[in-house]
């Protein structure tokens, strides 16, 4: 393999075309519904298996990884945890084989990290909920055929007045905004969802009215394990690329891998990815054991995303001028890594979660 290249991953990055074949391939391996029970058509595996799968898929193609992450962590997971049997049959089983994927509608143009300030509203009119408002930064926005959506049903209760819904797509009253032209993860569409008097059946309420904020937060906790896995894949791919190049590129009559400066970079990169991997596995194992994994998931997501950006940066440095060109995958890793420090909770939010839990654990 030449410098860690993955031709198909590079192709979808350049064309910005959704990798339907890769998503279908992941589904054929059971990776689009890793933690969904077998009786509903899923793989029936655990969070640790999911984290490992996310890393390996993202090591090859981070675009496929994010589609897989959103479908598993943000779409299927809350329906499995809070949905009715009818909702699971309608909105889980058809979203397992890769033909359909889901999305997650929480962020808005005026709020990202402030998840409790949802301005999108849902009012009950007879047997239907009527939704108005705009959701922003929706991954899989164009490709998805259903959305787990959060909207305010009682403004007087603030975050306790937020409810969760399942919205099928396409549907009358829902339009899609422009596809964002992004730095990285370019083959997965990101757009606004614009709701104008959009009507959905009353039974599409997910969980109980007023449980939306709780559903969103618990969903994101699990989602951070998935994004940690994606970031690990990018970090490992960056290291693979740097090692491969360093062993083949010669300077001063010998491979640059023999130079101590290069060796120190490789050692730092390995330490970053390995320590982040162990944190991610710990978070996944705590989740599987039914223990509190919130702090561990935040630590894993923070460490893994920082490892991804660090390793991608260092990979370009090892490759030098070649790393700055699109002929090499290092520049793609650099672009793809950056978003892992932003979506599903910024690095700053992760630190607040970690500190909050830490102080609670050691309260006097």
Residues labelled catalytic: 344
- Residue 111 pairs with which residues in a beta bridge? 108
- Kindly state the greatest CA–CA separation across the chain: 79
Residues 6+ apart with CB under 8 A from 199: 125, 128, 129, 130, 131, 172, 173
Task: Assess contact for 299 and 275: CB atoms under 8 A.
Answer: no
Element (H, E) at 23: helix 20-28
Give the C-alpha distances (Å, rounded to integers) separating 241 from 255, 261, 328, 330. 15, 17, 9, 7
In angstroms, rounded to a whole number, what is the distance separating the alpha carbons of residues 161 and 155? 6
In angstroms, rounded to a whole number, what is the distance separating the alpha carbons of residues 16 and 13? 5
In angstroms, rounded to a whole number, what is the distance separating the alpha carbons of residues 200 and 147? 12
Could you give the count of Cα atoms lying within 13 Å of 233 in the half-sphere of its Cβ? 29
Task: Assess contact for 233 and 309: CB atoms under 8 A.
Answer: no
- Residue 190 pairs with which residues in a beta bridge? 139
Name the one residue in this structure whose structure tokens are 């396409």.
170
- Please list the alpha-helical segments (H only) found in 249-344: 260-288, 294-319, 330-338
Cis status, amide bond into 170, omega within 30 of 0: yes
Report the candidate in 166, 3, 26, 178 with the shortest Cα–Cα distance to residue 90: 166
Residues 6+ apart with CB under 8 A from 60: 6, 9, 233, 237
Give the C-alpha distances (Å, rounded to integers) separating 141 from 78, 133, 146, 214. 18, 15, 9, 23
């Amino acid at each position: 393999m030449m410098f860690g290249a993955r031709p198909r991953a590079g192709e979808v990055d350049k064309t910005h075309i959704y990798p339907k074949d890769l998503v279908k391939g992941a589904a054929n391996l059971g990776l689009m519904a890793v933690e969904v029970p077998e009786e509903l058509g899923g793989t029936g595996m655990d969070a640790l298996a999911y984290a490992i799968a996310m890393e390996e898929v993202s090591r090859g193609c981070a675009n496929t990884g994010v589609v897989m992450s959103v479908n598993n962590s943000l779409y299927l997971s809350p329906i499995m945890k809070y949905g009715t049997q009818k909702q699971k049959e309608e909105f889980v089983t058809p979203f397992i084989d890769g033909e359909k994927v889901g999305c997650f509608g929480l962020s808005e143009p005026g709020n990202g990290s402030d998840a409790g300030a949802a301005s999108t509203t849902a009012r009950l009119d007879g047997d239907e909920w009527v939704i108005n408002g705009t959701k922003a930064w929706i991954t899989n926005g164009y490709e998805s055929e259903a959305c787990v959506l959060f909207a305010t049903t009682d403004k007087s209760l603030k975050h306790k007045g937020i409810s969760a819904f399942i919205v099928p797509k396409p549907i009358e009253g829902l339009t899609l905004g422009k596809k964002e032209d992004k730095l990285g993860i370019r083959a997965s569409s990101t757009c606004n969802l614009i709701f104008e008097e959009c009507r959905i059946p009353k039974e599409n309420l997910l969980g109980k009215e007023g449980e939306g904020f709780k559903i969103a937060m618990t969903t994101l906790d699990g989602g951070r394990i998935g994004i940690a896995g994606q970031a690990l894949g990018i970090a490992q791919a960056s290291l693979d690329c740097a090692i491969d190049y360093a062993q083949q590129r010669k300077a001063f009559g010998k491979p640059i891998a023999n130079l101590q400066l290069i060796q120190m970079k490789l050692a730092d990169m390995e330490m970053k990815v390995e320590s982040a991997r162990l944190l991610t596995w710990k978070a996944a194992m705590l989740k599987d054991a039914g223990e509190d994994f919130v702090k561990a998931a935040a630590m894993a997501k923070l460490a893994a995303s920082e490892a991804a950006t660090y390793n991608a940066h260092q990979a370009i440095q090892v490759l030098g001028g070649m790393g700055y060109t699109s002929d090499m995958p290092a520049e793609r890793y650099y672009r793809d890594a950056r978003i892992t420090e932003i979506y599903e909770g910024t690095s700053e939010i992760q630190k607040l979660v970690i500190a909050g839990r830490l102080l609670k654990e050691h309260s006097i």
